[in-house]
Amino acid sequence: MSRPVSRPVGIKDVARAAGVSVGTVSNVINRPAGVGAETRSRVLSAIEQLGYVRSESARHLRAGQSRVVGLVVLDMGNPFFVDVARGAERTARDKGLGVMVCNSARSRSDEADYLSLFAEQRVRGVLLAPADAGGRNIETLRRSGIPFVLVDRVGDDPETCSVSVDDVLGGALAVRHLLEAGHESIAYVSGPKTLSQVRDRRTGALNALREAGHTPAALRELTTERLDVAAGRDAGARLLGLAHRPTAVFCANDLLALGVLQAMYSAGVRVPEDIAIVGYDDIAFAAAAAVPLTSVRQPAVAMGTLAAELLIEETEGAPHEHRGVILQPELVVRRSSLTSPTRWT
């Protein structure tokens, strides 16, 4: 047999090395039962010696459909999106598909680059947790003709599938719980206002205050540029510096809440005796915190699963009705919010 070539090994190289036709090599790869044992062994030996790997992209072009689904998330550092990816990957794998996961890190330009890459690779479809609030990247994706499903975002187009959670209800659940515990002065530690999820959770919080007869002024908002633990610690430090500190804090996600909890612990402020904290997402770290964290649970794995199911359904060629699925959040009460408020001194 010939020595391995330096350029990428092709099917013709394998055929030449094994002394068979290209068609025979193709049959060994795709329909091995139809090839005699001696010939099959010779071809497989050539494949192994030459290090031949068949070109999936070329095969996809011939077949007209890829076996890869693209997934773009806002922040792979957030366990919530890891769970979304886990649900999507499990569903895709059951259908013989793979998932290519990319992290936009909330960058519209990075998101656009990944979507262009997916278009170039002719992926089967895209699952997108959008960073571009203006929808320009979504429109570009729509023009490319690649099927897609929005994840953690309500679609505003009847021709687009989406899977999201009722974040307005989630914000209301959190603040109703704090009001029922006797808190009347509540802080909202938010993230970037460009994210619809952050805005919707704030809307829910204000709705709950209004229902209880409070004005919007009862909600003290502390904005953050990020949705991570460091931003939560910074918000906690600002909270400690307020002249009239709220007795409870609702955070736009659990990472922020864990940062606030760290800031309180470092300052000797007791949670929940001096201040109650509620997070959002119910990631695994919430229950494992030094003070177990009350949180609004999002069904993240189910979100990824449903989004992948909708995408696969659309790409299988059967009649498909675009629809938006809105999942319901659930309040999980733990120690961080269980004690009635006391006065700050």
Q: Which amino acid is at 327?
A: L
Q: Half-sphere exposure (CA, 13 Å, Cβ side) for 313?
A: 13
Pairing of strands 294-297, 330-332: antiparallel
d(CA 252, CA 78): 13
Which residues are CB-contacts of 271 (< 8 A; sequence separation ≥ 6)? 261, 264, 265, 277, 291, 336
Pairing of strands 248-251, 186-189: parallel
| pLDDT digit string, tens, across residues 231-285 | 999 999 999 999 889 999 999 999 999 999 999 999 999 999 999 999 999 999 9
Is the pLDDT assigned to residue 300 strictly greater than 80? yes
Asked if 126 and 117 touch (Cβ cutoff 8 Å), the reply is no
| pLDDT digit string, tens, across residues 165-201 | 999 999 999 999 999 999 989 999 998 888 899 999 9
Is the pLDDT assigned to residue 224 strictly greater than 60? yes
Asked if 248 and 222 touch (Cβ cutoff 8 Å), the reply is no
What pTM was computed for the model? Answer: 0.79
| pLDDT digit string, tens, across residues 23-34 | 898 888 877 888
| pLDDT digit string, tens, across residues 149-162 | 999 988 777 788 99
Asked if 272 and 336 touch (Cβ cutoff 8 Å), the reply is yes
Which residues are CB-contacts of 114 (< 8 A; sequence separation ≥ 6)? 70, 72, 102, 104
Q: CA of 21: how far to CAs of 32, 39, 54, 311, in Å?
A: 14, 11, 16, 39
Asked if 208 and 179 touch (Cβ cutoff 8 Å), the reply is yes
Please, what is the average pLDDT of the chain?
Answer: 88
Could you tell me how many residues make up the chain?
345
Q: How large is the average pLDDT for residues 70-75?
A: 94
Residues of the chain above pLDDT 70, percent: 91
